[in-house]
Amino acid sequence: MEPILVVRGLKTEFLTSRGLLRAVDEVDLEIRKGEVLGLVGESGCGKTVTALSIMHLLQHPPARIAGGEIWFRGLNLLAGSDEDIRVVPRTSGPPRFLPADDLLRKHRARMNRVRGHGISMIFQEPMSSLNPVLRVGYQVAEVLMFQRRQEICDRLLSRRDLTEADLDLFRQAVASGEASERERLVAEFCVRSGLRPEKIHALIDASGLPIDERIARVQRLAVRRRRGGGWWLRFLKRLDTMEETHFAREWERLSRLSLGQPAVDLFDPKKNPRAKGLPPLATVSPQPDALRLYFHSAVGSGGDRRKGDLLVPSEDLRARVEAHLRESASGVFGAIFGIVKSVGVTEDAIELRYQEPSTDLFRTETELWSRRLLYRFVTSIPGLRSVLTRPIEEEARRHVVELFRLVRIPEPTKVYDAYPHELSGGMQQRVMIAMALAGEPALMIADEPTTALDVTTQAQILWLLKDLRTRIDSAILYITHDLAVIAELSDRVAVMYAGKIVEDAPVADLFANPLHPYTQGLLQSIVSTEGQGLEPGAALPTIPGVVPDLLAPPSGCRFHPRCKFAFDRCRVEEPKLLAHGPNRRVACHLYPEEGASATT
């Protein structure tokens, strides 16, 4: 299955008073659709920084993504960010980071279209992640109103008349004598109908009216609500469609220009064994409409026409390149080169061609600009903004209540109006999970979501994540220290140490036969009541030493000062992350490189 997220050579730096600290160094990850990848390692290994780099949530400066690629659904999320922060060296002391505010603002605007709807994150501390002065329900509704406003407008424009089930709820509310039960029924009725609670309470309290008259008035309210504000909903729907198209086109343009290095790796037999048999790639030339490939004349290729040192492309070579793309589509390269629509041939190059852009870009961009101006003008008038946005907020509220039910929050209509401090830690974390699910993301990043919770609540949150995984079919990057959780929840495991991935394997293989000495030490540190017990007074198994200072990491393998198997080569040469058997990679000199290939 084609990966949904591919991280290649990610490097993230922080500027400190002591110099540059590289917290993430040449990290390579891939996550497939519906897969759970566990990311484990000690504190300070770079797990959270990796997640925040993917989400582009680091403070710039002092942080800076110094290199690499993050491919998500065929788009490079780092495309166009090379000049966001410029490094200026100084004669004494650490360098300076000079941010390009305009470029950073544009990149953040593009990422806002990815965060929430494409990739979401469950943060480690819900109390520090939730706004203490806003009701939790509204905080979740904000995600819907920004990321899925177009769907909300569609639902409001197609709103049906009140059903008999809706009217039964209203009758029960009128007949109920208990205030709390009446409040619950009114809240549920308003969520389903989109009507305002104060109007429904006014009709219920109108004791002089017969029940049939009250029902008739409720139905008239529903009709007026359905007809009112239709022009604004259609305007917002068109605006959101154009915004989505604008940012998608911008992402794709920038991603096309960043395909150079991936193309070199695609045709490198050392990094992609499927490239054997093709002539060696000489150079690549990314263009807005195509990626041009120039090949060397291979030794012994007497049947091929040459032009100096370069091979003159032919229809046969074009067909071989096209077949190579198809064969590589199931792996990492399929996620990167998915934007290629056809393969063509010119006088001197093979072209990987993209889909033709819209031919009426000027008219589209002009209409988008004018609609943005009108939106800003209308929403700058407080009274008008309140009237126009109320139906959207109420429809978002209805969906939030459904999300709260999905994450097993009791009394969701009551919790919607609660503040964070009024909820327990487990309830706060469920709200955070609901917020992560609000945009229906293809990938969720869970950064130690059970750290501050008691054991019983931890078990409930983990059970909830397992249940949601099967119900929403979303990929999950799960960050934790707890290997027992990884064994229960994950499909694959990536082990991280001192900013680098040292091992990547299916979860069953890693627990049955850990390869890297660091992974072995982590597993040996688990004390199981089912295995052989320790002698009374015996020390618990640990990994000696601590994670190194990343301002001055050890030479060679970063784990060698703590490794009992270290030898001279480990101290001078840094190991590469190499394939070791099917679906498995390890960065260690203990394993031969013969027949192994470097990760891409």
DSSP labels for 291-348? EEEEEB--TT-TTS-EETTEEPP-HHHHHHHHHHHHHTTTSHHHHHGGGEEEEEE-SS
* Residue 542 in this model has a pLDDT that exceeds 80: yes
The Cα 421–Cα 485 span in angstroms is: 28
Cα 9–562–594 angle (5° rounding)?
55
Higher pLDDT, 301 or 550: 550
- Decide yes or no: CATH 1.10.150.20 for domain 3-133+419-490: no
Positive or negative: CA dihedral 401, 405, 410, 411: positive
The pTM is what?
0.84
> For the purposes of burial, counting CB atoms within 10 Å of the CB of 554, is it exposed (0-12), middle (13-18) or buried (19 or more)?
middle
Summarize the confidence of residues 401-420 as an average pLDDT.
90
Cα 132–133–134 angle (5° rounding)?
100
Summarize the confidence of residues 266-287 as an average pLDDT.
86
Instruction: Answer left, alpha or beta for residue 429, where phi above 0 means left and psi between -120 and 50 means alpha.
Output: alpha
Given a contact cutoff of 8 angstroms between Cβ atoms, the answer to whether 413 and 180 are in contact is no
The Cα 223–Cα 227 span in angstroms is: 6
Query: Before 61, cis peptide (omega within 30)?
Result: yes
Write out pLDDT tens, residues 509-518.
Answer: 999 999 999 9
Given a contact cutoff of 8 angstroms between Cβ atoms, the answer to whether 438 and 143 are in contact is yes
Phi, psi (5° rounding) for residue 9?
Answer: 60, 35
The Cα 29–Cα 332 span in angstroms is: 10
Q: Strand 443-447 relative to strand 119-122: parallel, antiparallel, unpaired?
A: parallel
Phi, psi (5° rounding) for residue 491?
Answer: -95, -40
Largest CA distance in the chain: 100
The Cα 573–Cα 587 span in angstroms is: 11
Q: What is the pLDDT of residue 530?
A: 57
Q: How far is CA 372 from the centre of its chain?
A: 27
The Cα 438–Cα 341 span in angstroms is: 32
Higher pLDDT, 23 or 215: 23
Write out pLDDT tens, residues 306-357.
Answer: 555 778 888 888 898 888 888 887 777 877 887 888 888 888 888 888 876 5
Q: In which residue ranges of the chain is CATH 3.40.50.300 found?
A: 3-133+419-490
Max avg pLDDT among 265-274, 302-311, 424-433 = 424-433
Write out pLDDT tens, residues 412-427.
Answer: 888 999 999 999 888 9
Model confidence at 596, in pLDDT bands (50, 70, 90)?
Answer: very low
CA distances from 352 to 328, 464, 600 (A): 14, 44, 20
